[in-house]
Amino acid sequence: MKLSYHGHSVVKVETNDKTIIIDPFITGNGNTDLNADDLNVDVILLTHGHNDHVGDTVQLAKKNDAQVVAPFELATYLGWQGVNAHPMHIGGQHTFDFGTVKLTQAFHGSAYTEEENQRIVYTGMPAGILFTAEGKTIYHAGDTALFSDLKLIGDRNDIDVAFLPIGDNFTMGPDDAALAAEWVQAKKVVPVHYNTFPLIEQDGEAFVNKLNSGQEGHVMKPGDSLEV
């Protein structure tokens, strides 16, 4: 399984001859190496409905005939826009031809802002994602605060790589994220959701230096990849 990071919370997974992208905020993201017009994906996984996570989902799904997997209300909202969306909810698990997806809790908000209409559309509860394929499990925490059930997620899953937000203000900051990393017990930890704009500027290297000695911290620049 090949994992690559593309700024903000954008993670690409290449496995089982499928290309999967998580939270594809590309257009308007000054911290990505991707161009939505050039991106080919088979599957889009979404953690929640904020614009900086839904991003280019509709365009990518239609261009690539890609399946979208998202929390129920968000999947319904995107389905009304002509997207092939599979709805899930927190605690639910489903096995697809590309791997197994389970949604976990995340403590955050979830709504899509339609700027032109000055309207905020509620898109259900936010989630984290446990994705398993080829015997490997990755955990994308989405946007979340620190919460004690992260221990349960770590106890019940053998997590190879965890992508954890460290930006603070809207999500966990570095100190809370370091404790989250300890609780989820991932072999490798990658900081995400930081340095996209001034309010969430953080030092990724300082964060990984906070991790326990038994965990590998990886500060990934947009376009960097790792194999698991």
Tell me, what's the pLDDT at 18? Answer: 97
Does 224 map to a domain? no
Domain presence at residue 97: yes
Domain membership flag for residue 226 = no
pLDDT at 65: 97
Supply the angle between the helices 72-79 and 57-64 in degrees, to the nearest 10.
Answer: 60
Whether 79 is covered by a domain: the verdict is: yes
- pLDDT at position 214 is 87
Does any domain span residue 133?
A: yes
Query: Residue 127's domain spans which residues?
Result: 2-218
69's tokens: 């997997």
Distance between CA atoms of 9 and 177, rounded to whole angstroms?
14
Asked whether 6 and 30 are in contact (CB, 8 A), the reply is no
Residue 227 maps to a domain: no
Within 8 A by CB and 6+ apart from 83, the residues are: 57, 58, 61, 62, 68
Residuewise pLDDT in 10s, the chain (228 residues): 999 999 999 999 999 899 999 999 999 999 999 999 999 999 999 999 999 999 999 999 999 999 999 999 999 999 999 999 999 999 999 999 999 999 999 999 999 999 999 999 999 999 999 999 999 999 999 999 999 999 999 999 999 999 999 999 999 999 999 999 999 999 999 999 999 999 999 999 999 999 988 899 999 999 999 999
Q: Is residue 223 part of a domain?
A: no
Which domain CATH number covers 55? 3.60.15.10
pLDDT at position 114, please? 96
Beta pairing, strands 225-227 & 2-5 = antiparallel
pLDDT for 16 equals 83
The answer to whether residues 154 and 184 touch, using CB atoms and an 8 Å cutoff, is: yes
Q: Number of folded domains in the chain?
A: 1
Domain contains 87: yes
Q: Is the dihedral of CA 126, 79, 223, 159 positive or negative?
A: positive
Look-up: residue for tokens 């898109």? 123
